[in-house]
């Protein structure tokens, strides 16, 4: 069957596929017996050997050879799309304003901003003293710093209280292990502090010579220790101020907005603990704010006369309590904003005269202005059916100007500043889409699918006007659904290359996220994880039933934990999708969670469970994509990974693809692309990532018969 849509020739997937993908010989991975035995369950893992590069590094050539063979295969299978991919790349790049500048942020007497230049992949970090008309200081020229590096990330720019020095981190491997550097802003001199394996940032004490930083275990990448370093001293003699013994916790160090306290935060999925230190007493001892309590999370905000604490203690959707500066234990906590069953309290932004509460209600984000003198509340209102609003960087405490961001699936990212006293709102900047963009040419809707258990699943969708709901049009459905991370509706200029070629794009706000409140997350983790997968499948079936698309034209996409989702839905409902894009996917759940030498494994026990527990083991095994590959038909699959991925190691998708190749009974396409120089986030340059987007789009366009 053929049809014409928006002037493009579109053929049915089955007809097109057999005519256009070359008949190449697929890579075949070697099998080696490896028995996993636990809880009386014996499993042979024939591709376990692929962990070899992770264990041995460059001494392991067999794994690298296999990954290269897969790369050769996908390149051959997609070779005819090279001109189209280049066209897509240039098309998406052309929408980006190459010479651009961020909105300057005022902090401690200076305006800070970054700017980009035409043809450059990175940026320059700059400041101006006192006024935007003052001379520019280029603090870091990251374009120049990155020269000669396939991957380069500069992060954590932290200025000393007296504005004369800066600490920053550099990762040139893509493992999220940063070295710390000091720049003297008076002389321009840069010093390697000899501090490595950090998160990339440091926190200044108020004496302008002491910093605190978080150190990672170089093997597991766990954040384990907080050190104090005094400038001018040997980093090998840095003082350990805190060590986290619980391997399920992440730790970090930061400073309160009013610059009064240094905070150390230790956090797992279900509990947290904060330590605090007077920022004027750099050599003092940190005090425990409130010892950790099982299943209790809390965040601390410092005001002049008290602390505010955002917590879920006796409050599923969180509430805000207050406590004296010298009596911080839970017995002193008094309700400030009580718990509400229908509102999720997410964050507090503090100013001298106002508080801004970031909340979530009915699946939508909202901002509430609270006058500290009168107690009056005001909601910021917006008129689109689905959108995202959020607090921006507001580092100044003594100001009545509040900056926030707003976006929707048809409204480009916008930055506003509102005078909290007068209510006057000014648009500071809206993402400029070069080549012309008219939001009136597109439609966004908020839909609700019904899950098998009766739960209503929100879906945000966008398409170009003229899109017919007759079941014949392609649709890409995206979701994440883990860690309580909410995937809100937002604008993407690259997505226009899909919409303008007849695709609809939808986000399924499935359980495991936190869009509908904390219970939404609780119902999509641990022993309820399968709700995440069935919610996504039910969302896809709803879109088919309502004739937004059909299984011949329905595509699914997710990355990392969302890649696990892709693997699960490919196993559970393979006939619903024409294509699945699984990026840096966490698909070997059982084996990874059993191996504590793999980075971040122990941090994840509260999300997935600990498979050393029998019940958790068998539940994980029942949905883990790698464990559940069967002899049956699968949809077309594009899988991506990075050899240096620090979050989901390369061998998970590699093993999964090898097993799929061995067992699947269809002739559909299965491609594995490995970035040999990058990690979890892909390329570091601001344009390079577009090549990966172009490949994803070209994969779907090829299946749809869209050729231009």
Q: Which of 282, 560, 573, 684 is catalytic?
A: 560
Catalytic-residue membership of 252:
no
Contacts of 579 (CB under 8 A, 6+ apart): 555, 556, 635, 636, 637, 638, 699, 700, 703
CA 59 to centroid of chain Cα atoms: 32
The Cα 452–Cα 5 span in angstroms is 34
| β-strand pairing of 8-11 with 2-5 | antiparallel
Comparing CA positions, the residue from 686, 668, 693 lying closest to residue 570 is 668
| Sign of the torsion formed by the C-alpha atoms of 326, 328, 332 and 335 | positive
Q: What is the 3-state secondary structure (H, E, C) of 35-95?
A: EEEECCEEEECCCHHHHHHHHHHHHCCHHHHHHHHHHHHHHHHCHHHHHHHHHHHHHHHHC
How many CA atoms lie less than 13 Å away from 656 in the CB half-sphere? 39
Do residues 168 and 181 make contact, with C-beta atoms less than 8 angstroms apart?
Answer: yes
Q: Report the C-alpha gap between 137 and 188 in whole angstroms.
A: 10
CA pair distance 509, 662, nearest whole angstrom: 34
Q: How far apart are CA 301 and CA 583, in angstroms?
A: 36
Packing angle of the helix pair 530-545, 614-623 (nearest 10 deg)? 30
Q: Does 645 qualify as catalytic in the annotation?
A: yes
Instruction: List the catalytic residue out of 171, 265, 645, 675.
Output: 645
Q: Return the closest-CA partner of residue 624 out of 45, 70, 74.
A: 45
Residue pair 599/221 in contact (Cβ under 8 Å)? The answer is yes
Check if 680 is active-site: yes
At 582, give phi and psi (nearest 5°).
-115, 110
Catalytic residue of the set 339, 509, 553, 680: 680
Residues identified as active-site: 560, 645, 680
């Amino acid at each position: 069957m053929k049809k014409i849509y928006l002037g493009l020739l579109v053929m049915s997937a089955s007809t097109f596929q057999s005519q256009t993908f070359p008949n190449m010989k697929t890579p075949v991975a070697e099998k080696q017996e490896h028995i996993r035995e636990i809880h009386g369950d014996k499993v042979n893992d024939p591709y376990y050997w692929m962990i070899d590069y992770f264990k041995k590094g460059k001494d392991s050539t067999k794994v690298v050879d296999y990954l290269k063979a897969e790369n050769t295969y996908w390149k051959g299978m997609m070779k005819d799309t090279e001109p189209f991919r280049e066209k897509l790349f240039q098309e998406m790049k052309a929408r980006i304003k190459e010479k651009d500048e961020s909105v300057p942020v005022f902090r401690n007497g200076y305006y800070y901003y970054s700017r980009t230049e035409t043809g450059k992949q990175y940026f320059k970090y700059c400041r101006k003293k006192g006024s935007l008309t003052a001379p520019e200081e280029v603090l870091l020229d990251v374009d120049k710093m990155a020269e000669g590096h396939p991957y380069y990330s500069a992060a954590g720019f932290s200025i000393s209280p007296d504005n004369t020095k800066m600490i920053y981190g550099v990762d040139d491997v893509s493992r999220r292990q940063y070295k710390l550097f000091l720049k003297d802003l008076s002389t321009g001199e840069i010093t390697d502090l000899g501090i490595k394996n950090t998160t990339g940032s440091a926190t200044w004490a108020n004496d302008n010579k002491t910093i605190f930083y978080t150190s990672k275990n170089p093997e597991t990448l766990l954040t384990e220790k907080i050190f104090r370093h005094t400038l001018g001293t040997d980093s090998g003699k840095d003082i350990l101020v805190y060590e986290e013994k619980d391997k399920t916790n992440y730790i970090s160090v930061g400073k309160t907005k009013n610059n009064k306290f240094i905070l150390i935060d230790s956090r797992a999925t279900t509990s947290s603990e904060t330590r605090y230190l007077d920022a004027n007493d750099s050599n003092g001892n940190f005090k425990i704010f409130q010892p950790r309590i099982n299943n209790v999370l809390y965040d601390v905000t410092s005001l002049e006369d008290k602390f505010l604490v955002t917590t879920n203690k006796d409050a599923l959707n969180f509430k805000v309590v207050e406590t004296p500066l010298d009596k911080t234990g839970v017995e002193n906590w008094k309700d400030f904003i009580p718990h509400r069953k229908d509102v999720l309290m997410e964050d507090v932004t503090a100013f001298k005269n106002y508080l801004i509460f970031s909340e979530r209600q009915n699946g939508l984000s909202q901002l509430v202005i609270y006058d500290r003198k009168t107690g009056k509340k005001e909601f910021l209102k917006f008129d689109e059916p689905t959108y995202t609003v959020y607090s921006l960087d507001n580092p100044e405490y003594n100001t009545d100007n509040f900056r926030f961001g707003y976006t929707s699936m048809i409204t480009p990212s916008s930055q506003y500043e509102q005078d909290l006293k007068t209510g006057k709102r000014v648009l500071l900047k809206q993402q400029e889409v070069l080549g012309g963009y008219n939001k009136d040419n597109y439609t966004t809707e908020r839909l609700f699918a019904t899950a098998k258990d009766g739960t209503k699943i929100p879906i945000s969708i966008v398409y170009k006007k003229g899109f017919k709901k007759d079941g014949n049009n392609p649709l890409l459905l995206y979701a994440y659904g883990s860690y309580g991370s909410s995937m809100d509706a937002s604008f993407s200029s690259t997505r226009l290359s899909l919409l303008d070629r007849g695709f609809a794009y939808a986000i399924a706000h499935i359980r495991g996220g936190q869009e509908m409140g904390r219970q939404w997350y609780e119902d999509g983790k641990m022993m309820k994880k399968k709700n995440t997968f069935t919610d996504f499948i039910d969302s896809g079936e709803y879109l088919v039933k309502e004739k937004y698309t059909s299984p011949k034209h329905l595509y699914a996409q997710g990355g990392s934990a969302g890649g696990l989702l892709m693997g699960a839905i490919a196993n559970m409902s393979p006939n619903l999708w024409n294509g699945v894009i699984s990026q840096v996917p966490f698909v070997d759940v059982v084996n990874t969670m059993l191996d504590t030498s793999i980075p971040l494994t122990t941090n994840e026990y509260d999300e997935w469970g600990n498979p050393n527990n029998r019940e958790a083991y068998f539940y994980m095994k029942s949905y883990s994509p790698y464990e559940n590959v069967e002899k049956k038909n699968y949809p077309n699959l594009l899988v991506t990974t990075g050899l240096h991925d620090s979050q989901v190691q390369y061998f998970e998708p590699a093993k999964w693809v090898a097993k799929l190749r061995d067992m699947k009974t269809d002739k559909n396409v299965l491609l594995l692309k490995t970035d040999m120089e990058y990690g979890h986030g892909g390329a570091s340059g601001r344009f390079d990532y577009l090549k990966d987007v172009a490949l994803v789009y070209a994969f779907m366009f090829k299946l749809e018969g869209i050729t231009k």
